[in-house]
Structure 1
Amino acid sequence: MVRTGDAAPDFTAPLADGDVSPFTLSENLDDAPLVLAFFPGAFTGTCTTEMCTFQDQLAGFEDVGATVYGVSVDLPFAQNAFRSAEGLTFGLLSDHEKELVDAYDVRMDFDGLGVHGVAKRSVFVIDADGDVTYDWVSDDPSVEPDYEEVADAAREAAE
């Protein structure tokens, strides 16, 4: 599992930001700190609440120079529909190939629902050197991150 102090695994994934374009982590470190908020799936209860809470608190992240990205295994087209429906202004990274959930070791299954290979609810803050300065991973998909703790971690990574 990726932990605080580790080098963040580099990746290229589709970025849904109203359009769809490739996003490579190592090429976007100038926008650090980067907040990668993994969530199981668009258009689901807790995930919608989480992404909307990040949206509500986005100005605080931007004030310290942090850039927030949601990450799920949804296709970028579904993510753009989700962004539009919920009024999200930050980008969502599509891990439809499930490479990020494996690289960050946050893959989980909902066996009872027959849903496999989605992201555990987790947050990683990455600094301008590409190092993970904060990690939070939940095995309980109904638990949201401590948003104030994430904001504090982003602020510290920006200093």
Structure 2
Amino acid sequence: MVDEGDAAPDFTAPLANGDVTQFTLSDRLDEAPLVLAFFPGAFTGTCTHEMETFEDRLGEFDDLGATVYGVSVDTPFALDAFREDSDLTFGMISDTNRRIVDAYDLAMDFASLGVDDVAKRAVVVVDGDGVVRYEWVAGDPSIEPDYDEVRDAVAALN
């Protein structure tokens, strides 16, 4: 896992935002703080609740000048369907090749389900210089982030 104070690993990946475009972290630093909300899989109970909670609180992040992105190993087409089904307005980064979860050391397996190499539930906040200013990783994938703590971490950057 990257630690607070580390340079955020740069990456380029498909962005599901109603269309499918390209997202490069270093090209989006003008949108910082960037809240990267990693989650194991679209259309699952806890992941859906987490992304819907970020959506419900999106105004708080907007007011702080932050941009929220979901990140999972789902295809961009599945993520667009997930966005539509859950009425999400923020973009979803598709890491089907697992380069991002590997670079951030956030890969995990659901051995009991036979599913390998998905994203751990985690939140990383990146500032305008590309530095990680907050990181949280769930020890248990059923645990959601402390949304107030994430908001406070973003507010501390202002």
TM-score band, normalised by the shorter chain? over 0.9
Structure 1 runs (4+) deviating above 2 angstroms are none
2:65 paired residue number: 65
Inter-partner Cα distance in structure 2 for 1:89 and 1:155:
21
Relative to the length of structure 2, the TM-score reads: 0.99
SS in 2 for 1:59: helix
* Structure 1: gaps of 5 or more residues: none
Q: Deviations over 1:121-142 (max 9, x none)?
A: 0000000000000000012000
Residue 54 of structure 2 is aligned to residue 74 of structure 1: no
1:65 is displaced (CA, Å) by 0.3
Q: Deviations over 1:50-69 (max 9, x none)?
A: 00000000000000100000
RMSD between aligned residues: 0.5
Inter-partner Cα distance in structure 2 for 1:75 and 1:155:
32
Residue 142 of structure 2 is aligned to residue 142 of structure 1: yes
1:2 paired residue number: 2
Relative to the length of structure 1, the TM-score reads: 0.98
1:106 paired residue number: 106
Inter-partner Cα distance in structure 2 for 1:85 and 1:97:
24
1:155 is displaced (CA, Å) by 1.3
Residues 6-155 of structure 1: pairs in structure 2 closer than 5 A: 6-155=6-155
Inter-partner Cα distance in structure 1 for 2:127 and 2:66:
9
* Structure 2: gaps of 5 or more residues: none
Q: Deviations over 1:71-124 (max 9, x none)?
A: 000000000000000000000000000001100001000001000000000000
- Identical counterparts, % of pairs: 66
Inter-partner Cα distance in structure 2 for 1:16 and 1:135:
23
> How many residues align structurally?
158
